[in-house]
Structure 1
Amino acid sequence: MSSVRTTAAVIERFNHAFVHHLPDELDELVGEDCVMEGIQPAPDGERYDGGQACLEFWRALAADRTTRFAPEEVVVMGEHATIRWRYRYGDGPADSVRGVNLMRVRDGRIVEALGYSKTAGEVPLAAEA
């Protein structure tokens, strides 16, 4: 990598990979020391330590063409980003969940991602299937 990508550029590419189901585009975006906390199981979500663990989870999620991810709002401040999103896992009005990811980017790579959602039950995620 000849130049460091900005936080905004990294998050834009991250979202693009999910919206367009392009898991290979995630490979260059995740830092080796990345830590991720998923939205499930309640109350704290599963923790993934290390870039490979985070990448495996995200690649499976991005590859699932039966779901749709839609960013609703992205706010970037320095190395931090907030992504408000909707994740659809079916065609019915109740077959979706809204949530937020709190992200941190260092040296052009995602090093932290904390996920939170508006759900009372389990959401079928490709990575957990």
Structure 2
Amino acid sequence: MKQDSIMVVHPDDRSRQTAEIMRRFNDVFQNHDPSALPGLVAEDCVIENTVPAPDGARHAGREACVGLWSAIASEPGTRFDIEETFVAGERATIRWRYWPADGNSIRGVNLMRVADGLIVEAMGYVKG
């Protein structure tokens, strides 16, 4: 079940553009459909994710980032509840709860950065 989430957007054009990109990005995970990712991710995108602990892994380049996010978005029996997205300029913070197939949830946050209409940076953190 898709949970309604809050999106707070700073009132300027750049923030509105970033908010639209974050909406489309979040939809990938809500709808389990990664097909939009190549059009959202910059060629030089970098992800620092949450595993392996304690420092996570670094994924660089469009292919690596789209591959990682596609695998997460299409994982059977999982869901993301987007709790809040806050956008100011080129930056966004997404607060979420992830429900893996085993039913035990994980809470986390992504710090995102957009440049020229594409995601260029994502840093993920989870509550331990």
The question of a shared fold, defined as TM-score above 0.5 by the shorter chain, is answered with: yes
Q: Deviations over 1:64-102 (max 9, x none)?
A: 13110111000000000000000001364xx11000000
Distance 1:42 1:62 in 2: 21
Mapped partners of 2:53, 2:75: distance in 1: 23
* Residue of structure 2 equivalent to 1:99: 108
User: How many residues are aligned here?
Assistant: 114
Structure-2 separation of matches of 1:56 and 1:89: 18
How far apart in 1 are the matches of 2:61 and 2:54? 22
Note if contact 2:45-2:62 (Cα within 8 Å) is conserved in structure 1.
yes
Tell me, yes or no, if structure 1 residue 59 matches structure 2 residue 73. no
Q: 1:113 to 1:49 in 2, by over 3 A?
A: same
The equivalent of 1:18 in structure 2 is 29
In structure 2, runs of 5+ residues without a counterpart are: 1-13
CA distance in 2, matches of 1:7, 1:44: 27
Distance 1:13 1:65 in 2: 20
Could you tell me the TM-score, scaled by structure 1's length? 0.84
Over aligned residues, Cα RMSD in angstroms?
1.5
List alignment gaps of at least 5 residues for structure 1: 120-129
Q: TM-score, normalised by structure 2?
A: 0.84
Percent of aligned pairs sharing the same letter: 56
